[in-house]
Amino acid sequence: MIKSILLLFNNNLAVLKSEIESYQNESCIWITSDNIANSAGNLTLHILGNLNTYIGGILGNSGYVRNRELEFSTKYIPTDKLLEMIDSTVIIINQTLNSLDLTTLQEEFPILVLKEKTSTEYLLIHLTTHLTYHLGQINYHRRLLDI
């Protein structure tokens, strides 16, 4: 199970990196429109904040401290810095998940994240779907607003 979850995270974060690299106009990463409230840059920060909090911080004891509000208010981080942040998150995810065992996956996740308590395995699967959801939004953002 850990191998499958790792594969999902690694593949989807590689796609995220590719999406950010695919913008022809770097400033378009940060634009919104009447019907698109979140920029690709802010969605990227949100994805990374989420993964660094629940995987790096909670499971990996990385010391990461989340500021969710900044994930949506920070603007104009250079593309190369965003890409570095994605790479750093990939490293944290791989280090953390490779240190887990089957028993840990079956245990209750250390904090309440969703409406009800879940196993660590369930929360990790949830995090992969959360990533994929926002990845789709970023793809549409790029295709609609990268002008």
DSSP state of 55: I
Inform me whether the pLDDT recorded for 147 exceeds 90: no
**Total domains in the fold of the chain:** 1
Residue 52, pLDDT score: 98
Buried b (16+ CB within 10 A) or exposed e, 39-74: bbbbbbbbbbbbbbbbbbbbbbeeebeeeeeebeee
Q: What is the CATH number of the domain that holds 53?
A: 1.20.120.450
**Which residues span the domain enclosing 74?**
2-145
pTM: 0.95
Tens digit of each residue's pLDDT (9 = 90 or more) over 107-140:
999 999 999 999 999 999 999 999 999 999 999 9
* Cα gap 97→93, rounded to integer Å: 6
The band of 19, judged by pLDDT with boundaries at 50, 70 and 90, is very high
- For 65-83, write each residue's pLDDT tens digit: 999 999 999 999 999 999 9
Average pLDDT, the chain: 96
User: Residue 21 above 90 pLDDT?
Assistant: yes
Percent of the chain with pLDDT over 70: 100
pLDDT class for 1, splitting at 50, 70, 90?
confident
Q: What is the pLDDT of residues 87-96, one digit of tens each?
A: 999 999 999 9
